[in-house]
Amino acid sequence: MQGNKGWGKDFILMVIGQIISLFGNSILRFVLSLYVLDTTHSATIFGGILAISMIPSVVLSPIGGILSDRINRRNIMVGLDFITSALILGFAVLLKVSHPILLIGTVMIILGCIQAFYQPSVQASIPSLVDEEHLMAANGMVAQVSALASLFGPIVGGFLYAFVDMTWILVISTVCFFISAVMECFIKIPFVKKDRTQGILQMVIGDIKEAIHFLKDEQPILFKMLFIIAALNLFLSALLAVGLPYILNETLQLGSQYYGFAQAALAIGSIAGAILAGIVSKKVSMNKSYVFLFVACMGILPIAIGSYLTEIPIVAYVFIIIGELVCIMFATLFNVFGQTFVQTRTPNALMGKIMAFVMAIATCAYPLGQAMYGVLFDVLKNQVWLVILIGAVLSLLVSVAAQMNLRKLKESGATI
């Protein structure tokens, strides 16, 4: 294990940069998604744009992982944050003179491309900046950072959207990404440049084959788990991404502030899950983590109840908040366990491409789920509770499949 012992300044700098960058990202995504829904009143268009913006992350993540193993990860993060800052500034200028929905769709696709190259570098850098004994806590801290940004971003975004012109919101996001890039310039991440003896295409194909071989032949339980997580993203994550804003804004007719606080509740759940991961990490092994998934799926049931109580919006809102808190808290808990499990079993030389490949497979079904739920909510707009209930049942079935697969982990004698 390379890097600083304990919590080094480089890890802290990366965390602070993540806070600022993710805060701007959280405001931006919240406002853009709400703008699309308010403008079109269509779950199909809303879900379609979300789905399309996710495709680059799925397709390009493996390439982003390959680059993060061959290029200084610090330089990747710095460059992409500067590019994002310039992109949002350009978007602010063009918003007044271009078709807003088409422009938003284009910007979200580009942001998806940037994320595909950015996130593998962040995830792959963590094991290089902390000791293995601190790795679970470090992953938990990064998860908390993401959750904190998600907590304050929608709250600020909701009030800004209600009272401030869109241009100022974009300016705030631009500044956040710029500051993050400047801070990341001072991070030192251990890096050994690899000699390239192949063409770029051959190199990419070879690295992808190496990642597949490692997962399929050396970590078969993990390989199967990726497809289970993909199914959960199809039925659970996509349901929350499309369902929550549609129910709150279209079904219950609540204002943007209510949606902002609902997004904040998701972030609070994520923070709680990340903190809980640090507490239970030495008491619960990976082969028992399916329990977290089961509880997360059960959290959908209060959301179904809330979506049925359309005549009493505030009561419905309370049910939805409770459900999403439970759901995201235990989903985050499982995610921290899974991420640490991958990192502790992957050589540093393969870390970037493996983490990217894991992310690509795990999220490949997410865009399909967003598009699917967008259509279902439009078709069953008078019975949205039924869509939620169907998603809950399907998610529970996937958690059962996870239990069956993780039993093999116990039989193999592996621990986390």
**What are the structural domain ranges in the chain?**
9-188+197-412
pLDDT of residue 321: 92
Find how far residue 131's CA is from the centre of its chain. Answer: 25
Closest CA to 157 of 27, 268, 57: 27
pLDDT of residue 147: 66
Dist CA 71 CA 203 (whole Å): 14
Dist CA 124 CA 359 (whole Å): 12
Dist CA 299 CA 243 (whole Å): 14
pLDDT at 15 over 80: yes
390: CB partners within 8 A, 6+ apart: none
**What percent of the chain is predicted at pLDDT more than 90?**
9
102: CB partners within 8 A, 6+ apart: none
In this predicted model, what pLDDT tens digit does every residue of 235-278 receive, in sequence order? 888 888 888 888 888 888 887 778 778 877 877 887 888 788 87
DSSP secondary structure code for residue 413 in this structure = T
pLDDT of residue 5: 47
pTM for the model stands at 0.65
pLDDT at 2 over 50: no
pLDDT mean over 294-304 = 91
Find how far residue 279's CA is from the centre of its chain. Answer: 22
Q: DSSP assignment of 266-318, as one string?
A: HHHHHHHHHHHHHHHTTTS-GGGTHHHHHHHHHTHHHHHHHHH-TTSHHHHHH
Q: Which CATH architecture has domain 9-188+197-412?
A: Up-down Bundle (1.20)
Closest CA to 150 of 270, 236, 47, 327: 270
Closest CA to 270 of 237, 317, 243: 237
In this predicted model, what pLDDT tens digit does every residue of 189-240 receive, in sequence order? 877 666 555 666 677 677 778 778 888 888 787 788 778 878 888 888 888 8
pLDDT mean over 302-311 = 89
Dist CA 256 CA 254 (whole Å): 7
In this predicted model, what pLDDT tens digit does every residue of 128-144 receive, in sequence order? 788 777 777 787 777 77
H-run or E-run covering 401: helix 384-412
- Would you place residue 404 in the very low, low, confident or very high pLDDT band (cuts 50, 70, 90)? confident
pLDDT of residue 6: 55
- Residue 198 CB-density burial (10 A; 0-12 exposed, 13-18 middle, 19+ buried): exposed
The 10 Å Cβ neighbour count of residue 147 is 25
- Would you place residue 389 in the very low, low, confident or very high pLDDT band (cuts 50, 70, 90)? very high
pLDDT of residue 150: 63
Dist CA 215 CA 338 (whole Å): 14
Query: Rounded mean pLDDT of the chain?
Result: 80
pLDDT mean over 119-125 = 78
User: CA dist 416 to 261, 294, 340, 353, Å?
Assistant: 35, 20, 8, 21
- Residue 91 CB-density burial (10 A; 0-12 exposed, 13-18 middle, 19+ buried): buried
Find how far residue 408's CA is from the centre of its chain. Answer: 27
pLDDT at 319 over 90: yes
Amino acid at 179: I
pLDDT mean over 96-121 = 80
241: CB partners within 8 A, 6+ apart: 50, 366, 370, 373
